[in-house]
Structure 1
C-alpha cells in the first residue's frame, strides 16, 4: 500500500466523510420524516375519532344522568304522594272503624230500646187489661150499689172518681158519705180522701190491692160509714 504524503489529504478525507455523513443523515432524516408523517396522520385521525366518540359518549351520559335524575325526582314525588295517600287511607279506615263501632253501639242501643219498648208495651197491655177488669168490676159494683144501696159515682178531675153513698143515716137519707179514688201510674187503686174521714181507709185500700175485689171494698167502706152513724 502506498503511503499518503500530502498533508492536505487527511483534511480533504475528513471533509469528504463529513459531507457523506451529512448527505446520509439528511437522506435518512427525510425518510424518517416522511415515514413519521405517514404514521402521525392516521394516529391523529384515530385520536380525533376517539375524542369524538368520547365527547358523544359524555353527552349521552349527561343526558342519561339527567334522565335518571328526572326519574328520581318523579319517583320521590310519587313516593311522597303514595305516603300521603297511605296516611289518608289510614285516617279513612280509622274513621270507618270508628263509625262501625258507633254503628254497633247504635244497633245495640236500638236493640235495648226495642226490648225495653216491647216490655213497656207488654206492661201497658197488661195494665190495660187490668184496668179493663177493674172497670168491669167498678161497673158491676156500681150497678149493685146503685140499685140496692143508693151509690152514685162521679168522674172528677181527669181519672179521679168520687163515690157517694146515701141512705146511710135514717134520719137524713140524702146525707152524702163520700170518698175519692183514682188509678195511679202503676195501675193500682189509690184512695185520695174520704168524707167523713175513715181511720181504717189505709187498711181497706191495702186489702183492695191484695184481693182486687172492688165490690167487697165498697161494701166494707159503706159498713164503716154506717158504723160512723151514731157520731152524726
Structure 2
C-alpha cells in the first residue's frame, strides 16, 4: 500500500472527525439552547396561565360585585316605586284629611267659644258672690265688731266686744273652702263639735246666719 495514500487517508479521517465533533458540538449547543428556550417558554406560559387565572378570579369577583350592586339598585328602584305609589295614595286622601282637619278646627273653636262663655258666666257669678260677701263683711265690721284675716286656705273671723269683763278679748273661728261649701274649724276658745256647721259661699243669708250663730255661741261661752 502506498504510504502517502495512507497518510492522506488519515488526514482526511482526522478532518472528518473534527468536522463531526464540531457539528456534534453545534448540535448539542443547539439542543441545549432549544431546551432553555423551551423551559423559558413553558415558564412564561405557566405565568401567563396563572395571570389569566387571577384575572378570571378578579373578573368573577367584579361580576359578583356588579350583580350585587345591580340587585341593590333594583331593590332601591322597587322601593322608590312603592314610595311613589304611597305618595299617590296620600295625595288622593289629602283633600279628605284636609276637610277633617278643618272640621276639627271648627269644633275646637266652637268648644272654645262655649268654654269662654261658661268662664265669663262663672266669673260674673263669682264677682256677684264676692260683692255680696264684701257687703256682708262691711255690715259685720260696722255692727258686730267683727274683723277678718285672709289666710292661705281659709278665712279667719275675729269677734270682739263679746266678753263684758274684757271687751278686747278675741273670739275666733275659721272657714275652710271645700268646693262650693265653707266649713267651720279652729274655734278659739273651743266650742266643741262644729264640723257640721257649713254655709254656701254665694248665699249671703246662709253666711249671715252662720256668723250670727257663731257669735251667739261665743256670747253664751263668755257668760259661763
The TM-score, its normalising length taken from structure 2, stands at 0.49
Q: Radius of gyration: which is bigger?
A: 1
